[in-house]
Amino acid sequence: MKPEISFEFFPPQTAEGAEKLRATRRQLAQLKPAFFSCTFGAGGSTRDRTLETVLEIQGEGHPAAPHLSCIGSTRGNVRAVLDRYKAAGIRRIVALRGDLPSGMADPGEFRYANELVEFIRAETGDWFHIEVAAYPEYHPQAKSPREDLENFKRKVDAGANSAITQYFFNADAYTHFVDSARALGATLPIVPGIMPIASYSKLARFSDACGAEIPRWIRRKLESFGDDTASIRSFGLDVVTELCDRLLAGGAPGLHFYTLNQAGLTSTIWQRLGLS
């Protein structure tokens, strides 16, 4: 069975950013992904830009999957967003808890992603294919691996169709997570999230914030390159391509690339994997 490949963008903040993203999209669309997803800022802070970006992608004839986070939202707000997406013919949604923006104290009417999944199902039936998040190295706020797995299973039981993981560089972490989820009765596809390596400083910052581990051997090697961007990218391509190869050979149902609105590294990995 052919692996399902998808690409993630964030909504651009400027007209120049929007134009750059269109160019990225044109390049990546040639690879015929299953869908493009678009992120949603903390507390819905990019809701309008997410909507605009997703509607533009959909208008270009590509399947689009908006992220929808529920923290800081009301049922009325979420219902209105779902109605807009449904009216636009959007059939896939990435349902997340999300983060409260700093300084905002009110968590809103939803506390957890499983409540959002349940609400989407109650409001829209089977209209949306619902993606949820999975954490092979466990959510940084989870008290234990067991609690994190139980939280994941709650999202599955609420009506999720498939899951996309946080990025990781240790294939064994993914395999172990999938096996543990299967042991709890979660049979849905769990697609690995893939982060191409363009910059060590950015990668370290992201990883520290989200709890994704950069294995010591990769971290030390990247540190040794200093400001040598070409060497960082070359080494990163080798590491990430090998990871993808191993995941697909081990039965992963697809790959979800966190593109950071850039096409080059993702396209190169795709070509190296022979996915065309």
* The Cα angle at residue 26 between residues 95 and 64, in degrees rounded to 5: 20
- Which tokens in the block code for residue 195? 């982060």
> Which of 8, 115, 118, 137 is labelled catalytic?
8
**Alpha-carbon span 73 to 254, nearest angstrom:** 31
Active site residue 223: no
**Alpha-carbon span 117 to 218, nearest angstrom:** 36
The SS3 call for residue 234 is helix
Instruction: Give residue 167's identity as a one-letter amino acid code.
Output: Y
Buried residues in 106-142 as b, exposed as e (16+ CB within 10 A): eebbbeebbbbbbbbbeebeebbbbbbbbbbbbbeeb
Q: Give whole-number Cα distances, 93 to 37, 65, 127, in Å.
A: 8, 5, 10
Segments of the chain assigned E as strands: 4-9, 35-38, 64-69, 92-96, 129-134, 162-167, 190-194, 254-258
Tell me the angle at which helices 216-224 and 229-249 cross, rounded to the nearest 10 degrees: 160
User: Which residues are the active-site residues?
Assistant: 8
